[in-house]
Amino acid sequence: MDLHRSRSRPAVTAALTGLLLFVSAPAALSEPVPGASSTPARGNAYMGMGVLAHDGAGVGAPPTDDRATQTEGVDVSSHQGDVDWPKLWDGSVRWAYTKATEGTYYTNPYFAQQYNGSYNTGMVRGAYHFATPDTTGGAAQADYFVDHGGGWSKDGKTLPGALDIEWNPYGDDCYGKSTSGMVGWIRDFLDRYKSRTGRDAVIYTATSWWTQCTGNYGGFAAKNPLWIARYAATAGTLPSGWSYYTMWQYTSTGATVGDHDRFNGSQTQLTKLATG
């Protein structure tokens, strides 16, 4: 079809201008599609980013565990933007973790609204760090985390920081490290975090990644609480050394923010973890 015959030149120009504006308009904030072929820009990683792509979603969700003995939580990052914390509270969410940092190059621009907003609503809150062992050492990343929101205070409302260690969204699954090299990197992070805050950090991971990239190392289980990632009716087999999980990310499609979690205990036990 000949545009010059069906439309005047000004009309064509306006149509093309509108098309350019449409293409260049910023998209609404949302989590990147797991398993997408393009490599995301640094800073875009979030907790559980690789779970669906590598482990899938099990048949039988939602969880079958007894909700009466567990406490509902959520985890958020910049992809959620400003979070409606009162709505989550009304939906029985009682704790939350917010992404604070990634590597030694990124801080979450929504951290204050998310971290303080959950606290002000009445929730017990914590911060997490997305590890990138291919960029800088574990101790350096622990320092960056603590210096940018990942600290801890004994107020009964602040949970120990969490190390998000999982599939590399920017390259090799294990960040180019051997199993012993990965264990060493994690140990350096945990030791520095403990020396800076006095608390043992929570470890967030998936059993399949942990097995592949640490050789299913069991040496952290005695001190570091486990936050297991598995989108299924049960948490499944846990990494070596842990006989139970402290937290469980059980879905990426929950109400309001997507990622929902369970604390494996009552509200009173959750407060005890926060208090130290």
| Residues designated as active site | 75, 164, 166
- Which residues have C-beta within 8 Å of that of residue 64, sequence separation ≥ 6? 233, 234
Per-residue burial over 13-36, b if 16 or more Cβ lie within 10 Å, else e, is eeeeeeeeeeeeeeeeeebeebee
Rounded distance, CA 120 to CA 218, Å?
37
Rounded distance, CA 249 to CA 272, Å?
20
Residues composing the chain: 276
Burial (Cβ within 10 Å: 0-12, 13-18, ≥19) of residue 170: middle
Rounded distance, CA 80 to CA 71, Å?
22
Kindly calculate the radius of gyration of the chain based on its CA atoms and give it in whole angstroms.
Answer: 21
Rounded distance, CA 63 to CA 261, Å?
10
Nearest to 271 by CA among 148, 87, 36, 263: 263
